[in-house]
A and B are shown apart, each in its own frame.
Chain A
Amino acid sequence: MTVNRGWALGFALGLMGVFWPFPATGGTLTGIDVNPQSGALVLSVSEAVTPRVAYLSRPERMVIDLPDTKVGAVGKIASGVTFAGVRRIRSAQYTAQTARVVLDLDRRQRFDYVTLGNRVELRPAAVAKSVVQPVAPVVSKARRLADLARARWLLKQRQTSFTVAQDDAERVWRSVPMAPLTLKGVRQAWQLRLMATGDYRHEVIPLSDTRIKVRFRGGRIALPRDSVYIDNGLIARVRLMQSGRDEAELMIDFDKPVDVQHRRLPDSRALLLSMKRIDRDRVTLDPGHGGDDNGAVGTAGTREKDVTLGIAERLSKVMQRHGMSVQMTRMRDLEILLRPRVDMANRDESDVFVSIHANSMGRHHQIRGIETYYYSDESYPLARAIHQQLVTQLKQPDRGVRKNNFYVVHHTKMPAALVEIGYLSNPQEEALIRDPVYQERAAQAIFDGVQAFLRERSPKH
């Protein structure tokens, strides 16, 4: 294959360790300091300058290029300057014409900057002006279609962020035909299109069911090395990096297992990655109580928090063996409030939510049996299916399927059931519930109920 190295574009950030050995002509970077009055970080240059700004990640950095500037007495490291959110400040001659200042950041953070003649002043940006925010908590609450709009907004914002920078940076985006990363799709199918200006070879390397790497050979990337947080419910993050002289890598992290297909478009310069969510049933299991909250305690000392976790762990294994995707609201003895449990299920957009509890009626030791609760009409078939299996398989008294406003079944957005597996206040039932074999049977019964519900709802099962 003929490799046209000409598709490398004029602007490539490359590796930070490579600096231009020759001094620049024009202005000189003479100082980096904090203005005690304004609190701004000030870059002092002997002549007026228009900076170009970019952000890099892993580690988080802010890069300020000063065109037609050489690094003066400040040297390569501006030590002794402390600025909020900045761990270290470095400076170096990046190219013959460009001085570069790098702020090593404590965290993902953005700065506003203004050029005042021969000074550049930086201040922490207001949150609303942040170019790329870790948006997961906000976006994940929205519907998927809204996520798509959000993703486009993010990409657009990134372009905007570079447009507000100056000449070279703006040219970077213009030089790439159309948007370099184009997302399009509906609900569970997504496409990522990568454009190039020349020929190249590519290879798609699956790293796990939630991560792929696409390796490009034959040129340099035209984009700043950076991450774009998409978080559209399928793609979590896209990272683009120059991994070698003529080799670039695109790393894509997914929230959920996906199937990725790739093909070159007829002009052979565009690569189309089509991603489809692997349609597994997603279940959130919620072992009740935990940590300081023991839940009910049986007459022999059995703690509800332990048996609920034991059953949930067994149930998780059964479900995973049958190809379901399972998350648990807690994996160990940990106190978690009810709202985070619900949020976890809603954020995951699980198909089913099952909360596992054990009951107690205090000194009324004669009370025993299984109860299953639901709240919405949509949840009733799930609760009933689970309850029927539990009563049939465990052969304990049937205390009914009941509607109730228990928090976790009230606020989850998918079919949800809360199972009361039995009464720890009944000595006989307590002995059963603490028995690992019984827990295994309970887990199997709940699984059978969930599977029956899913079959009923979707004939594909």
Chain B
Amino acid sequence: MLWYTEPSFSYLVPVKMPEALATAQTPQAKALMIVKLLGEHVPIGLGSPLVGVEGIEDIAFAGGTGRFRLVLKPGIGSAAERLAVGALVRTLSGVFADTRDWQVSLGSPQSQRFESQHLDLSKPLRAVDFENQVDTGRSGITARLWLRVPGGAYLVPCRVALSGQSGTPGRDALAMLATASAWAPESLGTPLPGGMRVTWSGMASGVVTLTVDTESAVSPEAQTLALVALVNSLLGIPGIVAVDFRFESMPVPDGLPFDCRVPVGRPLESADGYILSGGTRP
């Protein structure tokens, strides 16, 4: 996945990696191509997370740790610094599966090394350090819910604390997905479109059964985003191994990144389709 940002420049958004990346021969070449893709080939509706980034230098790998120096323009804020470092660490961690730790240093365009005034770069960073977080005002069991930017054709994975109201994390997650527009920040909302109703029908042996029906016309794009969000969100909760959809008053959708006529239990990371709009910014 390449990790971009959404229009509010608050959250990182995963986008399927282009095949062109496979043509890069060396790890350094791959890393440089990633920077180029994140900086210049931005999907429509998203933003480049590399605000203020001039380049990446001194890329090296040793003993499961990757190193690089990020060259930044002076005076970028903490949000921009966090987005840039987070997008690179998350993307590089996905591309270089054997490398979990990333020792990051910062430099200016004049090649002077400087200390971050924000991030703790004293220790290696990991992808998990840059997970999107959404404050729900609660504490307790957390789950990664896939929310939708209102009007956007993509999903944003965010770690949130579940409500704990039903006593079943999966059921709480479904309820929170349905009501996300009420508790999430303005820049995020529910992935379930207004005309679609999703009902928790039970869980047995780790398989959650959801009943889906539509009360009004729902675009195929919105249906797809909703089902991907449900699968990705629920499969991230411990104890849930598959999601079994029952469709009422609507045909079984096609064109999905998974076959929803059978229980969906494929690993999250292989599920694609987060971005439905094609093309990149000019």
B185 within 8 A of A: yes
Chain A residues within 8 Å of B75, by CB: 294-297, 304, 360
Contact with B along A285-320 (1 / 0, CB 8 A): 000110001111100000010000000000000000
A141 within 8 A of B: no
Chain A residues within 8 Å of B80, by CB: 359-362
Which secondary structure dominates where chain B touches chain A?
A: loop
User: How distant is A399 from chain B, measured CB to nearest CB, in Å?
Assistant: 6
Q: In the docked arrangement, what's the CA distance between A413 and B9, Å? A: 30
B117 within 8 A of A: yes
Q: In the docked arrangement, what's the CA distance between A61 and B133, Å? A: 60
Greatest chain A CB density within 10 A among B10, B74, B77, B133 is at: B77
B16 within 8 A of A: no
B118 within 8 A of A: yes
Chain A residues within 8 Å of B8, by CB: 367, 399
Chain A residues within 8 Å of B10, by CB: 399-400
Residues A398 and B120 in contact, CB atoms below 8 Å apart = no
Smallest CB-CB separation from A290: which chain B residue? B117
Residues B139 and A377 in contact, CB atoms below 8 Å apart = yes
A460 within 8 A of B: no
Question: Chain B interface residue count: which class?
Answer: 20 to 34
Residues A407 and B79 in contact, CB atoms below 8 Å apart = no
B24 within 8 A of A: no
Smallest CB-CB separation from B115: which chain A residue? A337
10 sampled A-B residue pairs with Cβ under 8 A:
A296-B76, A358-B77, A359-B78, A360-B77, A360-B79, A398-B185, A400-B135, A403-B133, A405-B125, A406-B119
Q: In the docked arrangement, what's the CA distance between A338 and B122, Å? A: 11
Chain B residues within 8 Å of A371, by CB: 79
Residues of A355-396 contacting chain B, CB below 8 A: 357-364, 367, 371, 373, 377, 380, 384
Task: From B79, B134, B135, give the contact of A420 (CB < 8 A).
Answer: B79
A446 within 8 A of B: no
A397 within 8 A of B: yes
Residues B135 and A407 in contact, CB atoms below 8 Å apart = no
Interface residues of A (CB under 8 A from B): 288-289, 293-297, 304, 337-338, 357-364, 367, 371, 373, 377, 380, 384, 397-407, 410-411, 418, 420, 423-425
Which secondary structure dominates where chain A touches chain B?
A: mixed
User: How distant is B35 from chain A, measured CB to nearest CB, in Å?
Assistant: 16
Residues B120 and A405 in contact, CB atoms below 8 Å apart = yes
Answer whether A424 and B120 are a contact pair too, CB < 8 Å, given A380-B139, A399-B8.
no
Residues B117 and A289 in contact, CB atoms below 8 Å apart = yes
Residues B76 and A360 in contact, CB atoms below 8 Å apart = yes
Smallest CB-CB separation from A402: which chain B residue? B133
User: How distant is A160 from chain B, measured CB to nearest CB, in Å?
Assistant: 40
B113 within 8 A of A: no
Residues B77 and A401 in contact, CB atoms below 8 Å apart = no
Residues A407 and B119 in contact, CB atoms below 8 Å apart = yes
B73 within 8 A of A: yes
Task: From B79, B120, B135, B139, give the contact of A410 (CB < 8 A).
Answer: B120
Residues A398 and B186 in contact, CB atoms below 8 Å apart = yes
Residues A295 and B117 in contact, CB atoms below 8 Å apart = yes
